[in-house]
Amino acid sequence: MALVVVDFQEKLAPHIEGIDDILKSVVKLIKALKVLKIPVLVTEQIKLGKTVDVVADVVESKAIEKTTFSCFKNREFRGRLEGLNTDRVILAGIEAHICVLQTAIELKKAGYEVYVAADCIGSRRSYDKDIAIMRMQSEGIRLTTSESIIYEITESAEHPAFKEILEIVKG
C-alpha cells in the first residue's frame, strides 16, 4: 500500500473550497500512515509553486514534478510507485476533478486497487468535487475517509502503534 499526495501547492491551495479542513485531514493521514510504515509519494504540478508548508513539513520524500495531469502518466512517478511493489494506492489531493480523478482512473486501468480519501480531496468549486466523486464511483474507485483508512490498516486497539495513532487522529 502507498499514499499519493497530489499537488497541494502554494498557488493552488488558497483557492480550494474547504482547504483548511482538507489540509488537517491530509496531515493526519500522512502522519498516521508514516507511523504504520506506509510509503508516501508527493507530486507537484509545474508552475503552481512548492508543496504547502503544512504538508511538506510532515512528508519526508522529495516531490515528483510533473506536467501531466495524471500522476501515472509521469515516468518518474510510475517508476517510484512500481519500486514500492504494491498493488493498492490511496489518493489525496487537489484538484479532485482534474489530477486526482485522472490519476485514480489511470491507476485503476493499470490494475491497482485505488482508494480515495474523500475528506482529503478538493476543488475550487464544490460541484466539480461532487462530480469527480460520482465519476470515481462509476469507475470502480473506492471512496472512503482518512479515519476509515487509518483504522482499517490499524485493525485493532491492540495494534502496537494504536496509542500513537489515536493521538494523531485526536490531534
Provide the residue ranges of all domains of the chain, joining segments of one domain with +.
2-170
**In whole angstroms, what is the distance from residue 13 CA to residue 53 CA?**
11
Burial 103-112 (b: 16+ CB within 10 A, else e): bbbbbbeeeb
Cell 479532485 -> residue: 96
pLDDT computed for residue 78 by the predictor:
97
Class of domain 2-170: alpha beta
- Kind and range of the H or E run holding 24: helix 19-35
Residue 61 confidence (pLDDT): 83
pLDDT digits (tens, 9 = 90+) for 33-74: 999 999 999 999 999 999 999 999 999 889 999 999 999 999
Residue ranges of the chain with per-residue pLDDT less than 70 = none
C-alpha cell at 99: 489530477
pTM of the model: 0.96
Please say whether the dihedral angle defined by the alpha carbons of residues 78, 104, 63 and 95, taken in this order, is positive or negative: positive
Q: Please count the helices (runs of H) and the strands (runs of E) in the chain.
A: 7, 6
